[in-house]
Copies of this chain bind each other. A is one copy, B any other.
Amino acid sequence: MEFRPGGRTARVRAAVLRAAEDALIENGFAGLDLADVARRAVVGKTTVYRRWGTVPALVAELLTEMAASSSPRTESGWLDEDLRANARLVQRTLTDARQGPLFRSILAAALTDAGTAAALRDFYEVRVAEWAPVVEAAVARGELPAGTDPEKVIRAVSAPLYYRLLTAAGPEEADADAAASVAAAAARAGAFRSPGPPVRGADRSAG
């Protein structure tokens, strides 16, 4: 019974992850403390220490949950539209009243904590894999050159938005639309093609 959805374990987990978000937003990663999270979640300290053990483990599980509950991709059948939807989703997340400060805290932690960096890499792999099919579909439709690497295109859409977050103000919606347009233009120009497979008939082992 312990693991049924909506059961006590699931409720405790939800309360603890929500409390961890609150604590990260208020105090940042350096101020995150399992006893404080337990108090905020109204859960026994022993439960939190036994279940999560360390702050990086708790943040890693928070990122797993954030990846699992993030918005699914849209598929409009038109590359520019899909990339713009992806860019606007990233932009809205980074500037959301709650998600924005939460991401800033986690990104800051990942810059100096290797465990959080690894958990954050997993988060982006899940998110990039969720959106890669819109690029695969564009290749299949002939909108993009064969051999275009879908993950590189999706990462190229996000990159300018995170760069703005780090080095300028924003990002704003116009930045999202520009990021999508630039990635689409570069993709159409073949800039994200992976090195091709060996040419058929060319026996490389004989070289």
Contact = CB atoms under 8 A, between A and B. Distances in A.
A204 B182 CA distance: 30
B192 A182 contact: yes
Specify the main secondary structure of chain A where it touches its partner: helix
Contact of A120 (B30, B167, B181, B182): B167
Contacts of A185: 185-186, 189-191
Q: Name, among A112, A181, A188, the residue most crowded by chain B CB atoms within 10 Å (CB to CB).
A: A112
Q: What's the interface size class on A, roughly?
A: 35 or more
Nearest to A190: B185
Contact of A30 (B30, B163, B182): B30
A73 interface: no
Contacts of A178: 152
A40 to B, nearest CB: 20
A52 interface: no
A4 B17 CA distance: 57
A118 to B, nearest CB: 10
A111 B107 contact: yes
Contacts of A168: 121, 124
Interface of A: 28, 30, 104-105, 107-112, 120-121, 124, 152, 155-156, 158-160, 162-163, 165-169, 178, 181-183, 185-186, 188-192
